[in-house]
Structure 1
Amino acid sequence: MRTAKQKAAKQTIARRLLAYAMLYKTRIAAALLVLCCAVAAELAGPYIAKTIIDKHISSVQLPWYQVSADNFHAEDVKAVQLRDKTYVRSDWLEDNRAAEAALAAGAGSEKLKEVRFMQLDSGMYLIDNATRFDGKWSLVPHAGADSESDQAVVQVLRITEQAEQYPATRLSAGEVAALYQYDVGAVIRWLALFIGLLLTASVLHYVQAYTLQSTALRIIQRMRMDLMRHIQEIPLRFFDNTPIGQVVSRIANDTEAIRDLFMSFMATFVVSTINIIGIYIALLLLDVRLALVTLIFIPLFAAVMWVHLKYSKRYITVMRARLSDMNAMINESIAVMPILQAFRQEKARLREFEVLNEDRYRNNIKQIRLFSLSSRNFTGLVGSLFTAATIWYFGSTSLQTAISFGVLYAFIDYLGRLFQPIIGIFDQLMNAQRAVVSAEKVFYLLDLEGRELEDALSTSKSKGHVTFDNVSFAYNEGEPVLRGITFEAKKGETVALVGHTGSGKSSIMNLLLGFYEPTAGQIRVDGRNISEMSKQQLRKNMGIVLQDPFLFAGDIKFNVSLYNKDIDEQKVKQALADVGAASFIEQLPHGYDEPVVERGSTLSAGQRQLISFARALAFDPAILILDEATASIDSETEGLIQQALKVVSAGRTTFVIAHRLSTIRDADLILVLHRGEIVERGNHQQLMQLQGRYYNMYQLQKGAETVAENVR
Structure 2
Amino acid sequence: MKIVKKLSQYAWMYKKLIIAALIMLSISVAADLTGPFVAKNIIDSHILGIQSKWHQTSKGKDAVYYQGSWYKRESYFARHEEKGKEVRIIQAGNHFVFTGQRVPFEGSKKLKNNTLLVENKGKKEQYTVKVLTTKELLKFYQPETPKILKLVFLYFGLVILSAIFQYGQSFTLQKSAHRIIQRMRNDAFTHISKLPIKYFDNLPAGKVVSRITNDTEAIRDLYVQVLANFFSSSINIIGVVIALYILYPKIALLSLALIPILVLWTIVYRKFASGYNQIIRARISDINGIINESIQGMNVIQAFRREKDTKERFEKLNQEHFSYQNKILNLNSLTSHNLIGVLKNTAFVSFIWYFGNMSLTASSVISLGMLYAIVDFISRLLQPVQGIVNQFANLEQALVAGERVFSLLDEPGADVSDKEIPRYNGNVEFKSVSFGYKEDEYVLKDLTFTARQGETVALVGHTGSGKSSIMNLLFRFYDSNKGEILIDGMNITEIPHQTLRKHMGIVLQDPYLFSGTIASNISLNSSSITREMIEKALKDVGGDRVLSHLEEGIDAPVIEKGSTLSSGQRQLISFARALAFNPAILILDEATSSIDTETEAIIQQAMDVLKKGRTTFIIAHRLSTIKNADQILVLDKGTIAEKGRHEELMRLKGKYYQMYELQQGQQKGMAV
TM normalised by structure 2 equals: 0.94
Shift of 1:569: 1.4
Shift of 1:317: 1.4
CA offsets 1:343-371 (integer angstroms, 9 cap, x no match): 22222222222222222222221111111
Residue of structure 2 equivalent to 1:494: 456
Q: 2:628 aligns with which of 666, 670, 679?
A: 666
Shift of 1:555: 0.8
Residue of structure 2 equivalent to 1:5: none
Larger mean Cα displacement after TM superposition, 293-302 or 545-554: 293-302
Q: 1:35 aligns with which of 13, 19, 25?
A: 25
Matches within 5 A, 1:681-700: 681-700=643-662
Matches within 5 A, 1:46-195: 46-65=36-55, 67=56, 72-73=57-58, 79-92=63-76, 96=79, 98-99=80-81, 103=84, 112=86, 114-118=87-91, 120-121=93-94, 124-126=96-98, 134-137=106-109, 168-173=130-135, 175-195=136-156
CA offsets 1:578-599 (integer angstroms, 9 cap, x no match): 2222134332232221111100
Residue of structure 1 equivalent to 2:16: 26
Residue of structure 1 equivalent to 2:332: 371
Residue of structure 1 equivalent to 2:410: 447
CA offsets 1:451-507 (integer angstroms, 9 cap, x no match): 101124x42111111111111111111100001111111111111000000000000
Residue of structure 2 equivalent to 1:6: none
Shift of 1:420: 1.3
CA offsets 1:191-241 (integer angstroms, 9 cap, x no match): 232222222222212222222221122222222222222212221111112
Matches within 5 A, 1:235-254: 235-254=196-215
Larger mean Cα displacement after TM superposition, 399-408 or 511-520: 399-408
Number of residues of Structure 1 aligned to a counterpart in Structure 2: 670
Q: Distance in 1 between matches of 2:206 and 2:275?
A: 23
Q: 1:485 aligns with which of 447, 458, 464?
A: 447
Q: 2:394 aligns with which of 421, 427, 431?
A: 431
Q: 2:565 aligns with which of 574, 586, 603?
A: 603
Q: Distance in 1 between matches of 2:501 and 2:467?
A: 19
Q: Contact 2:92–2:111 (CA<8 Å) still a contact in 1?
A: no
Residue of structure 2 equivalent to 1:230: 191
Letter in 2 for 1:419: L
Shift of 1:372: 1.0
Shift of 1:279: 0.9
Q: Contact 1:586–1:592 (CA<8 Å) still a contact in 2?
A: no
Q: 1:418 aligns with which of 368, 373, 381?
A: 381
Larger mean Cα displacement after TM superposition, 78-87 or 319-328: 78-87
CA offsets 1:59-78 (integer angstroms, 9 cap, x no match): 0122445x4xxxx4557x95
Residue of structure 2 equivalent to 1:4: none
Q: Distance in 2 between matches of 1:644 and 1:133?
A: 111
Shift of 1:119: 7.2
Letter in 1 for 2:249: V
Shift of 1:172: 3.9
Query: 3-state DSSP class of the match of 2:431?
Result: strand
For structure 1, the 5+ residue unaligned runs are: 1-10, 143-151
Q: Distance in 2 between matches of 1:139 and 1:256?
A: 69
Q: Contact 2:281–2:400 (CA<8 Å) still a contact in 1?
A: yes
Q: Contact 1:126–1:171 (CA<8 Å) still a contact in 2?
A: no
Matches within 5 A, 1:243-642: 243-387=204-348, 389-391=350-352, 394=355, 397-399=358-360, 400-456=363-419, 458-642=420-604
Distance change in 2, residues 1:557/1:74 (3 Å): same
Q: Contact 2:457–2:616 (CA<8 Å) still a contact in 1?
A: yes
Shift of 1:154: 6.4
CA offsets 1:322-344 (integer angstroms, 9 cap, x no match): 22222222222222222222222
Letter in 2 for 1:176: L
Q: Distance in 2 between matches of 1:402 and 1:165?
A: 22
Q: Distance in 2 between matches of 1:366 and 1:396?
A: 46
Query: 3-state DSSP class of the match of 2:445?
Result: strand
Q: Distance in 2 between matches of 1:127 and 1:385?
A: 44
Query: 3-state DSSP class of the match of 2:143?
Result: coil
Q: Contact 2:117–2:124 (CA<8 Å) still a contact in 1?
A: no
CA offsets 1:114-151 (integer angstroms, 9 cap, x no match): 43243754x655456795554444666x6xxxxxxxxx
Query: 3-state DSSP class of the match of 1:463?
Result: coil
Q: Contact 1:627–1:657 (CA<8 Å) still a contact in 2?
A: yes
Query: 3-state DSSP class of the match of 2:436?
Result: strand
Distance change in 2, residues 1:384/1:643 (3 Å): same
Q: Distance in 1 between matches of 2:258 and 2:439?
A: 58
Query: 3-state DSSP class of the match of 1:547?
Result: coil
Q: Distance in 2 between matches of 1:480 and 1:131?
A: 106
TM normalised by structure 1 equals: 0.89
For structure 2, the 5+ residue unaligned runs are: none
CA offsets 1:258-306 (integer angstroms, 9 cap, x no match): 2211221111111111111111111111111222222222222332222
Q: Distance in 2 between matches of 1:401 and 1:153?
A: 21
Q: Distance in 2 between matches of 1:541 and 1:220?
A: 36
Shift of 1:658: 1.1
